[in-house]
Amino acid sequence: MEDNQKSNLIKKMEVCLLAGEIMLKSGAETYRVEDTMDRMARALEIEQPQSFATPTAIIFSAHGETKTETRLIRIIHRTTDLEKKTETRLIRIINRTTDLEKIARVNHLSRSLSEKKITAEEVFHQLKELQKTDMFYPVWLQLFCAALSSGCFLIMFGGVWSDFIPAFLSGGIGFYIFLLMNRFVGIKFFSEFSASLSIGFCAYVFVKMGTGIDLDKIIIGSVMPLVPGLLITNAIRDLIAGHLVAGISKGAEAFFTAFAIGSGIACIVLIFF
């Protein structure tokens, strides 16, 4: 009986942990991750669930009941008591990206579980399938959207239409370098630095060739797809929600991202000007 109770508790905890892991890896705020895990735990009737999420780890604990036997001296009599035992699990989060579709699907499963529309086994199976699913758009579409947004940002910041094509090409090339470096190097700082370096070089070449006019506007528009807007937003929301550790760490990550982008452009300015 004791082993069955412990096994059931661990299975329920794995459901909550898997949901939190998918959300945190997909770019969700830490307070949203903790709230979703707590709601799922209550729906699974886990006693006193406690969750703690940071950008690099999730800790989840719950109380279960285990049976212990006590023998009385000189009297052959056994009594069975219920003792509270805490189970704790830790998951390390190394790679993080942005996938709002996965976050939305986990939220949908959480609501369905809370409303008793789906069982724990079905939720766990669907979460496993969701974890394996690659929901990113094709690379060519990502490059096209990054290039198009670069040109649109150029116009938004007061650039002229004749600079649209240089910004379009510079932004697309820079984002391609970012994806390439991120795939083979795996260090985000160097990926962003290399991308901004290539953007600055392409913008300089276009202006020197006479194709582009305003170098500043071309560079500003082209680096916008690399700007850590989601990180900054999540950092502020976590700080407002009282998650100081997560908010400060995400803010630091956003600062280093901005520093990498600025460093790449600064190197081009120092070399050619």
Tell me the sheet residues that pair with 88.
Answer: 61
Say how far apart CA 239 and CA 231 lie, in whole Å: 12
Q: Mean per-residue pLDDT for 233-243? A: 86
**Residue 184 structure tokens:** 């083979």
Q: How far is CA 125 from CA 47, 110, 117, in A?
A: 23, 13, 15
* pLDDT interval class at 21 (50, 70, 90): very high
217: pLDDT strictly greater than 80: yes
Residue 187 CB neighbours (<10 A)? 11
132: pLDDT strictly greater than 70: yes
Boundaries of every domain in the chain: 2-132, 139-272
17: pLDDT strictly greater than 60: yes
* pLDDT interval class at 72 (50, 70, 90): very low
First to last CA, the chain: 76
Q: Mean per-residue pLDDT for 170-191? A: 89
74: pLDDT strictly greater than 60: no
Say how far apart CA 188 and CA 196 lie, in whole Å: 12
Q: Which of 65-74, 147-156, 239-248 has the lowest mean pLDDT?
A: 65-74
Phi, psi of 160 (to 5 degrees): -95, 155
Of the candidates 245, 233, 226, 161, the residue with the CA atom closest to the CA atom of residue 188: 226
- Assess contact for 253 and 231: CB atoms under 8 A: yes
